[in-house]
Amino acid sequence: MHIAMVSEHASPLAALGNVDAGGQNLHVAELSAALRRKGHAVTVYTRRDDPSQPERIRTPAGYDVVHVPAGPAEPIPRDELLPYMPEFGDWLHRTWSRSAPDIAHGHFWMSGLACVRGAHGLGIPVTETFHALGVVKRRHQGSTDTSPANRVELERRLSLDVDRVLATCSDELFELARMGTPHTRMSVVPCGVDLQRFTADADNAADVPRRVCPHRIVTVGRLVPRKGFDIAIAALRHLPTAELVIVGGPRPDELHDDDEARRLLRIARRHGVADRVRITGQIPREHMPALLRSADVVACVPWYEPFGIVPLEAMASGVPVIAAAVGGLTDTVVDGVTGTLVPPREPRELADAAQELLADPALRRSYGSAGRKRVASRYSWNRIAADTQRIYHRVRAQLAETEEPNEKVAAL
């Protein structure tokens, strides 16, 4: 098949950890690479945000990235990108009119809208992975949510417009069902993890910050409030033997200018734990496995989490995970087997769970090896690509059987 992946803000070529670059970038990169390994031709369409970007790049993994001119060729926060999606969709339409892909796959709601517009009238089936839902973001962020006001309604319509929605976890499936998406139009296909990169084997830890305490808790993510790093800092008060390493954010040389980093350090000082909290800034992917392995426990305690790739990476590294019982984390982390699930936004519960694990090396080993087994059997990118490929085939077959194909209504 010729597969068109559309990922308007999340380029598979971006460095991860910054405010708008995380799991989705990785998902698109890894899924494209795995589908390429299966013999498909994959093109990823992402918005051009730098004038020096060439129109098309062949990645070492063998898939192509095309930079689509839509709006100014400069970085724009994703919550301000909606006005450029008609231009993005029209560009796709012109390109696909000349050479149509066999299937288009939108990542994030705005890409889905651009896909539907691009595929309009061309008989190209469209699948959609939302990665995050506006209705959940609104619920948790309330008036601080900077998403476009009509996001929730556009997502609801999009979920009916596309030929199939791929939810990344059961929690998202339920949210989509509550929004009115019929179960018959949805499948669950989770994110995966690179099992060769993330392993439990010890290796050199040259790039890992030196330990200053007997125990280490690592937490990873974009430096945004909803990731719950403040909860982990507050828990540290009750964990006198532990240090907390927070990984993510801007490049280390730009950390001092970052509002969220400054806020977290203020919280650490207020709790009297600043000497045991380290914020590393953005860490390159190749350093991430050793960093995770250096942890006694990896904590993932966001307020909410559409999927959460970090717990998979920790489990692949043989490290126990303490996770907030939200979103995709309730699918991936098995309480009492690969880690501990705790209520979100409860530092005391997190501290109690961490204390239990830090005091018991045998329990940590047992959770760690169960975690590795779990991800190896369920979450390899090859398996995720096989599931995705099956859905593409099914959608194409269904469309071929329909006399009047579902002509998508361009929602934009």
Which residues contact ligand UDP (rule: CB under 6 A)? 16-17, 22-24, 26, 220-222, 247-248, 282-283, 285, 288, 307-310, 313
Nearest to 306 by CA among 160, 171, 108: 171
Whether 379 and 317 have beta carbons less than 8 Å apart is answered as no
Q: Minimum distance from CB of 179 to ligand UDP (Å)?
A: 21
Residue labelled with tokens 């405010």: 19
Q: Minimum distance from CB of 303 to ligand UDP (Å)?
A: 12
Which is closer to ligand UDP, CB of 185 or CB of 262? 262
**Residue 52: is it exposed, middle or buried by C-beta count within 10 angstroms (0-12/13-18/19+)?**
exposed
Which is closer to ligand UDP, CB of 288 or CB of 357? 288
Q: Minimum distance from CB of 249 to ligand UDP (Å)?
A: 7
Any residues with CB less than 8 A from the CB of 100 and at least 6 apart, and which? 122, 123, 124
Q: Minimum distance from CB of 165 to ligand UDP (Å)?
A: 18
Whether 112 and 13 have beta carbons less than 8 Å apart is answered as no
Q: Minimum distance from CB of 59 to ligand UDP (Å)?
A: 17
Cα–Cα distances (Å) from 120 to 28, 84, 113, 162, 207, in that order, read: 23, 17, 11, 11, 49
Which is closer to ligand UDP, CB of 71 or CB of 248? 248
Q: Minimum distance from CB of 326 to ligand UDP (Å)?
A: 12
Which is closer to ligand UDP, CB of 49 or CB of 313? 313
Which is closer to ligand UDP, CB of 283 or CB of 315? 283
Whether 318 and 292 have beta carbons less than 8 Å apart is answered as no
Q: Minimum distance from CB of 217 to ligand UDP (Å)?
A: 16
Which is closer to ligand UDP, CB of 26 or CB of 186? 26
Strands laid side by side in the 126-129 sheet:
56-58, 64-68, 41-47, 2-6, 103-107, 126-129, 164-167, 186-188
Determine the residue with CB nearest ligand UDP: 22
Q: Is 159 in a helix, a strand, or coil?
A: helix
* Structure tokens that stand for 295 in this block: 């942890």
Whether 131 and 307 have beta carbons less than 8 Å apart is answered as yes
Which is closer to ligand UDP, CB of 88 or CB of 307? 307
Which is closer to ligand UDP, CB of 313 or CB of 331? 313
Strand 339-342 with 321-324, pairing? parallel
Distance between alpha carbon 395 and the CA centroid of its chain, in Å?
A: 24
Task: Strands of 253-296 (E only): list them.
Answer: 277-281
Q: Minimum distance from CB of 339 to ligand UDP (Å)?
A: 15
